[in-house]
Structure formats: C-alpha cells, structure tokens
Copies of this chain bind each other. A is one copy, B any other.
Amino acid sequence: MNFDLSEEQQVIADLAAQLFGDLATTERVKAAEQGDGIDRELWASIAEAGLLALSLPESAGGSGMGLVELCLVAQQIGRTVAPVPFTSTTVAAMTLAEHGVGTDLLPGVADGSVILASALAETGANDPLAPSVIATRSGDGAVRLVGEKPAVPALPLATAVLVPAMLDGATILALVDLSTATAGVEITPLKTTSRESQGHLTLDVDVPASHVIDDDAALEQLFLRSIAALSAVQLGVGEGSVAMAAEHVSNRQQFGRPLSAFQAVSQRAADAYIFNEAIRSTVYNAAWQLENEPGDKARADTLAAAYWSSEGTEKVVLAAQHLHGGVGADIEYPVHRYFQWGMQNATALGTATSHLVRLGDQLATR
C-alpha cells in the first residue's frame, strides 16, 4: 500500500501544474469566456506536452496510463479554471479505445485535433444511468437514435459525441459523428453559469454498427469515470478558491487585525481546507479503484468521491466567495470563477443528494 504518487505520476502532476499555471492566466481565461469557451492555444500546448495522450493505449499512440494520471491533469485544470474540454475528450477516448469503436479518432485526440463529448446529462431528475434517448435496430447492427440530451459539455466544439441510449431494455453507447453537418443531428449552443461550452443535442439519426458499443456495462463505466474526473476538477477548484481566500483573509485588515485573526473567518477557512482533503482522499482512491479493482466497491467509492466533490466543493467555493466579502462581488476579481465552476460541476452529473441516493440504494440492497 502506497498512496503517494509514483515518480512518473509526480512528473505529470508537476508538468500540468506548471503548464496551466503559466498559460491559463486570468487574461486568457477571460478571452476564452468571451469567445467560444475554449482556449485553443492552451489546448494545443496540452497536446504538445503529451497530456491528451496520457491515458490512451500505446497502440493508439498514447502513454498507456490510466484514470489516476488523467485526474492529476484534471485537478490542475480546476485549480486554474482553465477553459479546455480535457475531461470530456479524454474520458470518452478511454471508452472508445477500450471498446475498439471510433479508434480512428484517437490519433486526433492525442494531437489535439479531435474534441470528444459525452452526452450524459438527462432532463428531469438528471439520472445519467436512465437514458431517455431511444435506439431501435435498423439492420446490420446499425441503430436509429431518437431523443434529446441537455447540457452536453463541449458539444459545440466536438468532432463526435458518445450518446447513451436504451436499446431493447438495455443501455448502449452510440458514437455520433459531428465532423460534417448531418441531417437529424441538431446542436444548440447553451449559455452556462460557468461559461463552459455546452450544447443541447437533438437526435433523429442512424448510427452504423461500427459506432455502437452494445454493452450494457459501458454506460455505467463511462459515468463513473466521468464523475471521477469531474471530481478531480472539483478538487482543483476547491484548492484554487481556498488558496485565494486564505491569501485575502490573511492580508485584509478590519478592526485592526487581519480577517483571519477572527475565529469566524479562520474556522470557516479551516473547514474548507478539511473538505478539500476529504475530496483529495476520496477522488484519488476512486480513480485508483476504478482503474485497478473495478466492481461494487469501486462504484461505491466513486459515488462517495462524487458526493464529497459536489457537497464539499459547493461548501468550499461558497466559503471562499463569502470570505472575500464585497471584494469578490465584482467579476473583475477572479475568485467568482471558482464559485461558478464549483457550483456548475456540483450539479452537472447529479447533485450531492442524487449521488447519496444512488449510493444508499446500493448499500441498502446489497
């Protein structure tokens, strides 16, 4: 048992920290917000540094690493609120590689020319494991997809999107090509709280057999990996916001002493720190378990990580924002981005409550 990062993992973490620290500056983040929600220069730098190929198999030109390494990069994205569709692309790519579907896209993932999306969110109670898109067989293993998907991250930027659907009472994943305009595929860009690029997807389209992952377990795996990666982003978001808040309350003087010398302030900051450590622990445990010992325990551990990264990060970014007082109300001051990212990610693939309910179902019935 060794919870420390390996030397190789530490190199990746350091590289990502340096790369995002240097490049994801407030000015560039702001520019991406005012543009289409992606910093393409940064995206190219990530590709060049090899970070997009980390978790691709060596056969696809990747480094053959896994979810833990992917999370190390995701964490730095959260820490710098960097506008790049990293988790969306790399998690979907892992699924494609594993199931041997759409593997022609993988070199493009590695070099940054391909962006991938996964359409996990659902309307209503937002249960990604109960897809509302209906698939029907249209011969030769091909399927026809009909339905809608709300709030798909990176959709307006994506080359292709993985769409969960119900086929004959089981779930499938269908890879829908977006590289050319296709009749029956409609994308509406959405305005989001965090300015993340998202789109609404309307489908009435055929997908060839070669682009269908007809494995009922694939959706849950994609979902679990996605919430693990999102939780790693949340960890970074929480770290970044607490660092900013700690600096603010240590420097700002009121009543003749720094704000941090008031227990109401310091104890709230301490609680935020504790949440971050809870998230760090559960996220890396979940990523390791999903990668190395998939199964019920890994599922429960991942839901626990998702719970903490929703509930905990929500509390952390609220605290950090609140501790900034009026200073944080002005969006010229960068702390609000942590709040907006933290809150958006806390509901994106289910809320803290929905993760608890899902986990409760598992615990109560096993």
Contact = CB atoms under 8 A, between A and B. Distances in A.
Nearest to A262: B263
A267 interface: yes
A264 interface: yes
A354 B65 CA distance: 49
Contacts of A263: 262-264, 267
A249 to B, nearest CB: 13
Interface string A253-272: 00000000011100100000
A263 B263 CA distance: 5
A103 to B, nearest CB: 49
Nearest to A267: B264
A269 to B, nearest CB: 12
Contacts of A262: 263
A303 to B, nearest CB: 22
A264 B262 CA distance: 9
A108 B262 CA distance: 59
A264 B268 CA distance: 10
A257 to B, nearest CB: 12
Contacts of A267: 263-264
A256 to B, nearest CB: 15
A352 B183 CA distance: 55
Contacts of A264: 263-264, 267
A357 to B, nearest CB: 15
Interface in A211-263: 262-263
A262 B267 CA distance: 11
Q: Give the most central of A262, A263, A267: most B CB within 10 Å.
A: A263
A144 to B, nearest CB: 38
A262 B264 CA distance: 9
Nearest to A264: B263
A356 to B, nearest CB: 14
Interface in A261-302: 262-264, 267
Nearest to A265: B263
A263 B267 CA distance: 9
A274 to B, nearest CB: 15
Interface string A159-196: 00000000000000000000000000000000000000
A263 B254 CA distance: 15
Nearest to A261: B263
A264 B267 CA distance: 7
A243 B155 CA distance: 59
A262 B262 CA distance: 8
A288 to B, nearest CB: 35
A264 B264 CA distance: 6
A132 B142 CA distance: 58
A264 B271 CA distance: 12
A329 B264 CA distance: 26
A40 to B, nearest CB: 48
A219 to B, nearest CB: 31
A323 to B, nearest CB: 14
A261 to B, nearest CB: 10
A267 B267 CA distance: 11
6 contacts: A262-B263, A263-B263, A263-B264, A263-B267, A264-B264, A264-B267
